Amino acid sequence: MFKVLSSLSRAAVALPSIRNTINISKMIGFQRQIMLNNINSFSFSQTAAVTNKKGNIIGSQQIPFDRWRIVRGDKVVVISGKDQGKTGTVIRVYRKTNRVLVEGINVKLKRVAGNAQDESKGSIHKKIHSIHVSKVSLIDPETGKATRIRFGYLEDGKKIRISTKSGSIIEKPFDHGWKRENRNKNKVDGMLDTPAEKVLQVTYKGEDFDTIKRDFEKYIQEKERKEKLLVFKD
């Protein structure tokens, strides 16, 4: 029986529990899924302990969620932490680490040192840091409060998010600027970029097999002529 350590640091784990730890992060996809499906007696919060062959903990690693309910552009409310109750827009999602960047949430001050050469003074800037996606929740469009969601489908087959509290549909935000053709609309070619007209230019016209055949026949004739001139002594 293997034990999964959930969100535990090296200092917080006793030595006896290390011996029953399995390194889930090193498994390939289907093996990891089988192992997680067989775990019923342990709470698992998407964080597994990383161990070496001897069973010693060497760190932890986030296991990415298979399905995300929150996407970029969503209006969310913080449900835990120092910013609890605040709302903001999701600027970016980090799927590999299960974190999101929310506008105006988890803002920290960063000191920037001055430069003596140009006599610039130091300053303090505000920087937004990411938070775990479990600390935010979608906002119900009817109640304006945090809500859980479930997935459903419309008659045309479109997948939608439905609030479990009011049953209202929470539409996914969409911006035409996110499309690939719009993102590259006003892009200027750099030094390492090849212009489209040069990419489409035909520079290979195939091989002239008649010329290759004649050259090969000349090579064989010259080779046979030289071989006849060779004299071998017993």
**Span 14-33, pLDDT tens digits:** 333 333 444 444 454 544 54
* Higher-scoring residue by pLDDT: 179, 2: 179
Q: Helices then strands (H, E): number in the chain?
A: 5, 13
* Sign of the dihedral defined by the CA atoms of residues 198, 200, 201, 203, in that order: positive
122, 113 contact by CB (below 8 A)? yes
User: Poorest-confidence range of 72-76, 117-121, 149-153, 187-191?
Assistant: 117-121
Mean pLDDT of the chain: 77
pLDDT at 217 over 90: yes
Task: Please write the tens of the pLDDT for every residue from 90-104.
Answer: 999 999 889 999 999
* Higher-scoring residue by pLDDT: 56, 64: 64
